[in-house]
Amino acid sequence: MSEQTLSNLSREERRFEPPADLAADANVKAEAYARAEEDREAFWAAAAERLDWGQKWDQVLDWSDPPFAKWFVGGTINAAVNCVDRHVDAGRGDKVALHWVGEPEDDTRDITYAELKDLVSKAANALTDLGVKKGDRVAIYMPMIPEVVVAMLACARLGAPHTVVFGGFSADALASRLEDCEAHVVITSDGGYRRGAASALKPAVDEAVEKTGDLVRNVLVVRRTGQDVDWHEGRDVWWHDAVDSASAEHEAELHDSEHPLYVMYTSGTTGKPKGILHTTGGYLTGTSFTHWEVFDLKPDTDVYWCTADVGWVTGHSYMVYGPLANGATQVMYEGTPEKGRWWQIVQDYKVTIFYTAPTAIRTFMKQGREIPDGYDMSSLRLLGSVGEPINPEAYVWYREVIGGDRCPVVDTWWQTETGQIMISPLPGVTAGKPGSAMKALPGVGADVVDDEGNSVPDGSGGYLVLTKPWPAMLRTLWGDDQRFKDTYWSRYPKQGFYFAGDGAKKDEDGDLWMLGRVDDVMNVSGHRLSTTEIESALVSHPKVAEAAVVGAADETTGQAVCAFVILRESAGDGGPDIVEELRKHVQKEIGAIAKPRQIMVVPELPKTRSGKIMRRLLKDVAEHREVGDVTTLADSTVMDLIKDKEGSAASSEE
């Protein structure tokens, strides 16, 4: 981050006080900070009491073997029972759990909690018939249809940890995840709808299953689009055959608080994806409480909508587990944000709480305010932002145009690893400051420190760390305790801090501003992607000798993938055709989200004497800046060659 960026941030003078009526009736008041500070464990125990437990815990937190935490030790709980059954048992079965909106017009379903309970019980019975037992892993590769929520909850009910893989990922990406967690069953669909057309999913599953030998026993397939699919007798099973005919009676077992709930894969700085493990009791406590706290949820009157795909952690924590545990009524939409469609949904369903990513907000800004101005969004009372830091202008536009200049914006910071929101304004307490996530929530410890781990003074920048264990924290990396310790806990061993991998600064008031990743992980549209994985995909192409990838600032997606490649001599000197071929190759290997915005064919890459690629110099080129210090390069003339190439670079836009 340049000094100019830091000083600009600190000059943000705009403040938005909480609306008086919201502040008066807020779920969490200012006193919560002091209460949590006084006794953190009692604070989190009270949050856990909001859930239904079988056996009460003996110990709130066991931190005797850091960094391996155990929360609510000795307690037993079932996530699906807390998300569904308990609301039905309390007489709220007629309440709508999901207003589902398909991408094709007029394709909608309203599912009550009673109906959801029956569907989850049937799916649990169907999975049991397929041989799924407690502890078995199940992979889910689906579009945003109600069955994906049912599948997740059915797995949770059985105690079979699920791993949901984003439906835009390639067969190779899916195969590597199936192999890592040894999933014997995959739940998918024939396809889904995206941008008005049926998009196939099953072919990628078939290809992934083939790559994993005889690992996968069954593929359970939802019929969504009706498109033709290849069928493997004895392995493939139609959802409507297996689930619809199953019994709606299912006795749920209570699982240990620390029983694995799911594994979610996230990009690492080495090519192998990292399987983040979340367990049951602490995760459900953290997500349900923060959902109620940060969004000031009133379950009887609010209609909540989180636009995230379930393939990402936001969809797990704030579309499935948190909201359903709280008995919320929510909207779930299958498609992409086509012009006006989201605002039509807000108007039709009278959405009151809306949670989306800065990327989407910037896209709508680009389209112009006349589109949202054509809809009645007066039902909205609270807006949220997630996925990456929101720039102040997008924040103000979001508040004014979407929120009618009356809705507080909660700019939330958290990660796949944290499981729950960690840093955010409290809507009834905190004055909004455009672009700042403000401060750690009650019960959460966060700080900005220097290289030695000392807290930096207000007005200074450094590294964001988490200083205390929290309920929804990741427990380890699946099958790799050492990598878990090395990745998150090795930077500040003396202090025992969790290192988030993000830069941050404190402004003059001590409020926190997130400055993005400090390692080689890019944040594209709120999705963390590894430079190493994309470089590996490029080098797997027969014409490429070497590749380096950087994330360059992009006003729509936050960061965009920019690649620099050295071609093999046999490939010629690389015109627009090879660039397009390589972009498509990355899409095939990893998925469209990783497709480079720009590929520059270069004669050489900037390397240190030890052979490390100096990505910061490439970032300077990608962002059209003056190239920084080149004294550590083995050959300082390399950057001149690259800059010469830049003038005639073949690049193409999505």
Contact 309, 144 (CB under 8 A): yes
The answer to whether the annotation marks 195 as part of a ligand binding site is: yes
The answer to whether the annotation marks 627 as part of a ligand binding site is: no
The answer to whether the annotation marks 197 as part of a ligand binding site is: yes
The answer to whether the annotation marks 217 as part of a ligand binding site is: no
Find residue 562's DSSP bridge partners: 550, 598
Distance CA 589, CA 609 (A): 31
The answer to whether the annotation marks 592 as part of a ligand binding site is: no
Distance CA 399, CA 410 (A): 10
Distance CA 34, CA 601 (A): 56
The answer to whether the annotation marks 230 as part of a ligand binding site is: no
* CA distances, 11 to each of 118, 344, 423, 436, 439 (Å): 54, 36, 21, 12, 18
Distance CA 107, CA 99 (A): 11
The answer to whether the annotation marks 414 as part of a ligand binding site is: yes
Secondary structure letter of residue 533 according to DSSP: H
Contact 18, 430 (CB under 8 A): yes
The answer to whether the annotation marks 387 as part of a ligand binding site is: yes
Closest CA to 26 of 355, 298, 290: 298
Record the tokens describing residue 339, joined without a space.
């012009």
The answer to whether the annotation marks 608 as part of a ligand binding site is: no
CA 208, 213, 214, 215 torsion: positive or negative? Answer: negative
Find residue 112's DSSP bridge partners: 96
The answer to whether the annotation marks 413 as part of a ligand binding site is: yes
The answer to whether the annotation marks 544 as part of a ligand binding site is: yes
The answer to whether the annotation marks 351 as part of a ligand binding site is: no
Using a 10 angstrom Cβ sphere, with 0-12 exposed, 13-18 middle and 19 or more buried, the burial of residue 80 is buried
Closest CA to 534 of 574, 561, 567: 561
The answer to whether the annotation marks 399 as part of a ligand binding site is: no
Q: Report the greatest alpha carbon distance in the chain.
A: 74
Contact 314, 472 (CB under 8 A): no
Distance CA 201, CA 184 (A): 18
Record the tokens describing residue 601, joined without a space.
């064919």
Write the secondary structure of 312-342 as one string of H (helix), E (strand) and C (coil). CHHHHHHHHHHHHHCCCEEEEECCCCCCCHH
List helix spans (H) across 243-354.
281-294, 313-315, 322-325, 341-349
* CA distances, 355 to each of 125, 309, 319, 383, 572 (Å): 33, 12, 10, 6, 48
The answer to whether the annotation marks 525 as part of a ligand binding site is: yes
The answer to whether the annotation marks 86 as part of a ligand binding site is: no
Closest CA to 521 of 491, 547, 559, 566: 559
Record the tokens describing residue 453, joined without a space.
């781990």
Record the tokens describing residue 550, joined without a space.
């950087």
Contact 550, 541 (CB under 8 A): no
Cis peptide before 67, with omega less than 30 degrees from 0? yes
The answer to whether the annotation marks 502 as part of a ligand binding site is: yes
List helix spans (H) across 91-145.
113-129
Write the secondary structure of 578-633 as one string of H (helix), E (strand) and C (coil). HHHHHHHHHHHHCEHHHCCCEEEECCCCCEECCCCECHHHHHHHHCCCCCCCCCCE
Distance CA 486, CA 173 (A): 24
Contact 388, 557 (CB under 8 A): no
Record the tokens describing residue 580, joined without a space.
């397009």
The answer to whether the annotation marks 517 as part of a ligand binding site is: yes
The answer to whether the annotation marks 476 as part of a ligand binding site is: no
Distance CA 315, CA 387 (A): 11
Distance CA 467, CA 464 (A): 10
The answer to whether the annotation marks 165 as part of a ligand binding site is: no
The residues, any chain, with a CB within 8 Å of residue 255's CB and separated by 6 or more, are 76, 77, 78, 134, 159, 280
Q: Could you tell me which residues are annotated as the binding site for ATP?
A: 387-389, 411-416, 502, 517, 528
Q: Could you tell me which residues are annotated as the binding site?
A: 194-197, 314, 387-389, 411-416, 502, 517, 525, 528, 539, 541, 544
Q: Could you tell me which residues are annotated as the binding site for CoA?
A: 194-197, 314, 525
